[in-house]
A and B are shown apart, each in its own frame.
Chain A
Amino acid sequence: MLLVIVGGAATYVGVTDGLGFLSARVLPRTITAGIALAILGFVELTGVARSLRRTLMRTKKDPPSRHGHTDHHDRPRLWPLLLPFLLVPSALLSSTGSIAGNKPFVVAPGTDPAPTTIEDALDEALAPDPESFAEHGVTEFTMENFADLTAIAFGDPEFVQGRRVRLTGFVYRQEGWPETDFVVGRLSIWCCLADAALVGLLARGTEVAPERDRWVEIEGVLAVAHDYPLASENLESAPIVIIDSLRYVEAPEMEYVLPGGF
């Protein structure tokens, strides 16, 4: 019985809010599993398999129905399992920003490709919309290229210096950062929310940093910064967006971005 409910719940959540918890890559699996579970539970509940088996084996003798593995079910005790499904999942999703709070900030480490490779990488990252890439145009950060572009920018800040960018993300700050600095970030997930990593760009240019966890869209020019929060031995210089315009926006349909390399 439990299986039917759990399977059904999983399928329902998967179909409605699945993308809030899982990447699109794994969602079909979960939905399939949910359906399979529900079917399995149904089969068990109604003893369909057992009667089918009996028919196939054509035994006159009635196998003791409560024998063997069906005996030792202590089923009721796992009902608490349903608890998370009962809490309306969509209500849980507005906390992207705070989940990011505990995650490490991915700075696309160690990729120091030669300039030609960066251009290739840029071309690839912008492939769906190559028009947006021009020295004087604006490079728009999308769900597909967000992680890649930030990786490229961190990989060689001088290379991307001077380009104009526009990106949407939530405001991320840590204690002790100067008021002028913050990160516009997104969570990139590979399979499920549990493996989310924070990616984004540093931004500067407002007198007071916007509110934490609020979603903003910024547009500005990339510069190279040497003194900024998160500076460390590994990361002497970083790209930073000098903001021209900033506005608060609603969280986008798809809050998460694809991890780099895709």
Chain B
Amino acid sequence: MPHRADGAACAACAAGFLTASPCSVENRPMESNHRRAIHPALPYLLGGIVALWVFFILRSFNGIMAFRNTSAIFLSLMLEGFPFVLLGSLLASLVQEFVPTTVITGMGSRLGRARIPVVALSGFVLPICECAIVPTMRRLREKGLGLVDAITFLVAVPLINPVVIASTIVAFSDRPALILGRFLGGFAVILIVAGIFSLRERQRAGIAEVAVGTFRPRVAVGPRILHAVEHTAVEFVEVIGYYSVGAMLSAIVQAFVPVTSFFAFTDTILLAILAMIALAFLLSVCSEADAFIGRSFLGVMPEPAVLAFLVFGPMFDLKNLLLLRRVLSAREILLLVASLLVAVSVLGVVYASITV
């Protein structure tokens, strides 16, 4: 990975440091690839969120209570998220360290058509929570994973993994149709989104993905593991900054936005579906728990809308939006949101017509 603009290996990195260094900027297709730990705007974003929070508290009827509620929810989100972010950071560092780029770039030629579904099912091997999916995705991208595959990875892994499947089965044991809908339907949505991005990639001919090589001197496994461990700390600090902004937003939404107001949108199935998608986006619930939250909506919202909530939730939400801005361009994010919105809505409507 360390290459100067003229392609020569950067000697300073030859001492066995195997990760990306600031030297390797020029070769990358992505913008802003400097290995800055923290985006410079993050502190301002944090400050902005806190200001927003203060504003809401001052406006609310019982300021102290509001403060307590949001703090409690925020703290609970942080505490709950720590293990997952840590795990994700560790995984990302290990991928960075140990997975040769050739495996990733060679995947296309070896798997051919089956590539997308395989990536979609990789959640069984790498069960990563939404919280940590973005840094891992970023690492894979840096290793040369194609955009389409990365997007597939991003939306598939938080949904199609053993933990989520288990919690869905438990929460909806009396509604097998909904369970099937969540995973089969979710899989279909993933394929649709992957398809849309594939089409776009083909249209943008000429922008080749550069295979970024990894500089690998002969270093034993031991030091590399240690290096990965050290790097986990860096990774964690990065991610937790963004995660905390997302958690704060989520806490504010939960405390101040009456969830019940979303339940008024039941005039048409489509409206209910859209309302639940919006709720899923705002609430940013961890994909492990959203089955149970979804369950609690069944009394007030029609099943297809709850399905939309269950499918959209793990794929995209407020928390990840912030993190994604470092990995995808604004246009790519927009395309992602739009395709998800359309695909999930269609799924909901189809489900409604099948099950009625």
Spell out A's residues near B (CB within 8 Å).
2-3, 6, 10, 13-14, 18, 20-22, 26, 29-30, 32-34, 36-37, 40-41, 43-44, 49-50, 52-53, 56-57, 59, 61, 63-64, 67-75, 77-78, 80-81, 84-85, 87, 89, 91-95, 98-99, 101-111, 113, 190-195, 197, 232, 234-235, 259, 261
Contacts and interface: CB of A to CB of B under 8 A. Distances in A.
A192 B230 contact: no
Contacts of A18: 79
A95 B68 contact: yes
B286 interface: yes
Q: Which has the most chain A C-beta neighbours within 10 Å: B62, B68, B79?
A: B79
B278 interface: no
| Most A C-beta atoms less than 10 A away, residue of B19, B35, B234 | B234
A81 B244 contact: yes
B52 to A, nearest CB: 14
B223 A53 contact: yes
Contacts of A197: 292-293, 295-296
Contact of B72 (A50, A95, A234): A95
B15 A64 contact: yes
Interface string B246-261: 0000110011111110
Interface string B263-289: 100000000000000000000011011
A74 to B, nearest CB: 5
Given A56-B223, A110-B175, A72 B68 contact: no
Contacts of B298: 109-110
B233 A53 contact: no
9 contacts: A84-B71, A92-B71, A92-B72, A94-B68, A102-B258, A192-B79, A193-B73, A194-B80, A197-B295
Contacts of B72: 20-21, 89, 92-93, 95, 99, 193
Contacts of B257: 102
Interface in B34-63: 34-38, 40, 42-43, 46-47, 50, 62
Nearest to B228: A49
A103 B259 contact: yes
A101 B60 CA distance: 13
Contact of B79 (A13, A41, A68, A101): A13
Main secondary structure of the interface of A (DSSP, over half): helix
Given A2-B237, A108-B299, A191-B80, 13 more contacts: A13-B75, A18-B79, A20-B72, A21-B76, A43-B229, A44-B233, A56-B220, A56-B222, A56-B223, A57-B16, A102-B259, A105-B299, A190-B292
Contacts of A81: 240-241, 244
Interface of B: 12-13, 15-17, 19, 21-22, 34-38, 40, 42-43, 46-47, 50, 62, 65, 68-69, 71-80, 82-83, 86, 167, 170-171, 173-175, 219-220, 222-223, 226-227, 229-234, 236-237, 240-241, 244, 250-251, 254-260, 263, 285-286, 288-290, 292-293, 295-300
A71 B230 CA distance: 13
B244 to A, nearest CB: 6
Contact of A195 (B13, B38, B256, B285): B285
Specify the main secondary structure of chain B where it touches its partner: helix
Contacts of A232: 300
B38 A194 contact: no
A258 to B, nearest CB: 11
B19 A192 contact: no
A22 B244 contact: no
Nearest to B291: A190
A102 B66 CA distance: 11
Nearest to B74: A84
Contacts of B62: 98
Given A30-B79, A78-B237, A193-B73, A49 B259 contact: no
Given A53-B227, A104-B297, A195-B292, A67 B17 contact: yes
Nearest to B241: A78
Contact of A10 (B43, B82, B292): B82
Contacts of B42: 77
Contacts of A50: 226, 230
A57 B220 contact: yes
A72 B37 contact: yes
A106 B297 CA distance: 7
B15 A49 contact: no
Contact of B229 (A49, A70, A78, A106): A49
Contacts of B237: 2-3, 73, 75, 78
B299 A106 contact: yes
A68 B254 CA distance: 41
Contacts of B254: 102, 194
Contact of A194 (B17, B226, B230, B250): B250
